[in-house]
Structure 1
Amino acid sequence: MSPTRLNSITNNDFLLSNVRLETGFVYDEQQQVIATQTAIFDIIVTNGIIQQITKKAAISSAGLPNNSNDDLQKHSNNVDANGLLMLPTFQDMHIHIDKTYYGGAWQAAPWTGSIKDMISLEEKLIPKLLPNSQHRAELAIELMQSHGSTFARCHCNVDPVSGLKSLEHLLLALDNYKDRFNWEIAAFPQHGILYSQSESLLREAAQMDIDFIGGLDPTIVDGDAKKSLDIMFDIALDYNKGVDIHLHEDLPSGKAVMEHMIKRVKENQALQGKTFITHAYALAMLPPLELEHLAAEFAEYGIGIVTSVPIGQNALPIPTLLKHQVQVLTGTDNLMDNFSPFGLGDMLQKANLCAQLYGWTDEYRLNRALQMATNNKQTLPLNDQGQQVWPYVGADANFILVKACCSAEAVARLPKREAVYYQGRAIL
């Protein structure tokens, strides 16, 4: 039976033949990882779930193993991967698609100075963006999908200018992709909780289909860090939501904000594992001992850090955070809007940036860097010890196919995503 094209499967029931999976590490005499082992497999997907994984043995004249399993050969839909590497799909854990210029004419970011200047500018821009915000959000979702992301945490403006309209438009856009994409939503008071008197709006948003309550620079924007933070946490607790705050503040206020957040999370177990600090630039400015102390507390109380992996003086101390087993997530942040024109919507690029910034040039650390794209270490093909842990029977058939020999090469070289599958359906 002739194989089906890689990206033409729409019924989530097929045989993926001749696909390359990572199987382990290769070590030198000093027990340093010097390469990644792979082998060719056949995988059966049924109802969007991986049902069978079969390693192939004999080598055919085409350089790919022959298949001796007649049941596999008889499968009605046979997609030949031709030795492409299978990777898990990616997650974009911080992106604003409710107010993007993406899909419209090119516009650079009209930076005007302070965050309050930007708020004033956005108050004028939002009414112009709202009429097309659903369509542009949909184009942004398609962009993320094209790079292999099948999940995003979307931060959506809740402010006196747009009210809940931005959120309503975003929910409509996401619902149109519910069979091809998954998401979380953070209700984000871009204009400040106190500064724009948005508490009541946030409480309304909390009763909609959202997952996180956000905040913004409670010292420099709201002018009262404790009051602002307590309102944010209280709303989250009242409506059983998580917390994800944008924190751009330097020292000393940035550290004080994080310490108060630790205090609130320590006091409320319901917030542990559901609280995130995005950007957290102050971490890059802390003396080493203070950084180690904060990182240990983040890990103890389940407070995660989300970053767009900025280049320059605000580069986060990600290696230290990972050493303490802090959950570190990456995201695009701005695709193309009044804050930045640089976002690509490509999480593999974020893994690549991490590798370049922190000197992860060897096989092992490049392999581990893939977690910065998947934002879930448990879905990496190999665990830290080099044991094959993904894909596995019973897993959702969410995967990417790329022309690379291993994860390390994919992170370093950023190959084209040849195909992207979500729950067994080709979405690219």
Structure 2
Amino acid sequence: MERVHQQSRRSFLSQTGKLTTACAVIGLASGAAQAAPASTGRPASEAGATTLTDRHYYLSDVRLEEGFEYDGDTVIGTRTALHTLEIKDGKIAALHPANTTPPAGVPLYQVHGQLMLPAMRDMHIHLDKTFYGGPWQAPRPRQGKTIMDMIALEQKLLPKLLPTSQQRAEQLIALLQSKGTTVARSHCNIDPVSGLKSLEHLQRALENHRSDFSCEIVAFPQHGLLHSKVDGLMREAMQMGVQYVGGLDPTNVDGSMQKSLDAMFQIALDTGKGVDIHLHETNPAGVAAINHMIDTVEKNPALRGKVTISHAFALTTLAPEALAETASRLAAQQMTIASTVPIGGLMMPLPRLSEAGVFVMTGTDSVIDHWSPFGCADMLEKANLYAQLYRGSDEYRLSRAMAIATGGVLPLDDKGNRVWPKAGDDAAFTLVGASCSAEAVARLPARSATFHRGRMVYGSVGNA
């Protein structure tokens, strides 16, 4: 299929990225996009239902994508139509024609032509340590500071954050839901200062939201697995229900790439857990670490499909041939990449990884903490940034960019066939005032309602 190329904004974003983050770069577009076309927005005067926990109900006038419109071989638009959705026991039970009347006793709600998008997934966030929900506090200057300097600062901050960490985590969950996100993977500090307290507080927060938010936890040795001697605490965390063993820059922080990675993998093998490591290193040590991790998974089939490399900045340093070989090996072992879609000098080869079969996902990382003040908790905004960075300004590529924010779930497949939603799917989605996915990615409309397992966890819908 022919895809129209437009001039990349990489040059502009690269320069801007030296001064700010994605939130600021696209803030103007975000602010200008809040008003959706009148035909797809719910009347502002209608209060509607703000609580929806029915086991069985209908949603009317839901806008779903039907297929692409073409000029020759070029996608120039997206066809949509209104439907009535039947939702039962957390699943989409059926898709009915518009204006379908539900059986007696089954509630009917009205969404007035809002577009239905798959629920967003934030697959790299730190819910356990954030300034969000408290008074404004900018980070200390980073100029001239090493990661060890930042760790030393964090050791002083953690005791101040712990007393309110559960409440702030819950407020951050609410922010995520307001942006259409109902699934996350949160890294959680395991360190000598907080011990297992950060984990206990995060687990309590998640327990309070078990019916409206799903979250995996990574035990994250932020102060170094070997450097802070937390092997025992990490193993305790695994016994507390944590799903992933974390790690951090094995050369720069732990001082021994192989010993650090082997210790991390040993915990995973001993406990049957997955791995999700922070790897920021871009020097040759970062490439060596990636190769060692692939080697380890190749030798241990139990780890296949259970390893994520977060950030993986070293991939930006590889020549095309080396990148192709590395991507092929990552894909063969079903290893995934979690990227925040960085701007500036670290232009990650995300499209090339995806083309090679590597599953790429995105996340917020920091949301207003001592590392960064810019996190917006908006995965749709990550899709917008992805489209800007990788020449995705046409209808087709805009619609494809949304996959990075939804865990690969898209309403239309690459040929324009509707594959979502369908009967039997989880009722996990968000409603926006947009005409199609491409417009939503480009203009970032406000989310009017978010649903998780059939339950409305944010926003409102109209009373029919």
- 1:13 is matched with which residue? 56
- 1:44 is matched with which residue? 86
- 2:124 is matched with which residue? 94
Match runs of 1:23-422 below 5 Å: 23-29=66-72, 31-56=73-98, 67=99, 69-70=100-101, 72=102, 74=104, 76-112=106-142, 113-375=145-407, 377=408, 379-422=409-452
Find the aligned partners of 1:389 and 1:355 in 2 and give their Cα distance: 22
Find the aligned partners of 2:440 and 2:105 in 1 and give their Cα distance: 30
- The answer to which of 74-83 and 140-149 deviates more is 74-83
1:74 shift after superposition:
4.6
Residue correspondences, number: 411
Find the aligned partners of 2:284 and 2:141 in 1 and give their Cα distance: 25
369 and 12 in structure 1: CA distance in 2 versus 1, 3 angstrom threshold? farther
Q: Deviations over 1:367-425 (max 9, x none)?
A: 111111102x2x31111221111111111111111110100000000000011111111
1:296 shift after superposition:
1.0
- The answer to which of 314-323 and 213-222 deviates more is 314-323
Find the aligned partners of 1:408 and 1:6 in 2 and give their Cα distance: 28
- 1:22 is matched with which residue? 65
- Paired letter, 2:124: H
- Paired letter, 1:409: E
- The answer to which of 379-388 and 398-407 deviates more is 379-388
Find the aligned partners of 1:130 and 1:121 in 2 and give their Cα distance: 15
- 2:462 is matched with which residue? none
Find the aligned partners of 2:259 and 2:125 in 1 and give their Cα distance: 26
TM-score when scaled to structure 2?
0.87
TM-score when scaled to structure 1?
0.94
- Paired letter, 1:48: G
Could you list the runs of 4 or more consecutive aligned residues of structure 1 that deviate by over 2 angstroms after TM superposition? Answer: 3-8, 72-76
- The answer to which of 287-296 and 170-179 deviates more is 287-296
Find the aligned partners of 1:359 and 1:6 in 2 and give their Cα distance: 40
User: Taking every aligned residue pair, what percent have the same amino acid on both sides?
Assistant: 53
SS in 2 for 1:190: coil
- Paired letter, 1:306: A
SS in 1 for 2:123: strand
- The answer to which of 43-52 and 95-104 deviates more is 43-52
Find the aligned partners of 1:369 and 1:173 in 2 and give their Cα distance: 31
1:10 shift after superposition:
1.8
- Paired letter, 2:388: Q
75 and 404 in structure 1: CA distance in 2 versus 1, 3 angstrom threshold? farther
| Larger RCO, structures 1/2 (Cα 8 Å, 6+ apart) | 2
SS in 2 for 1:427: strand
1:273 shift after superposition:
1.1
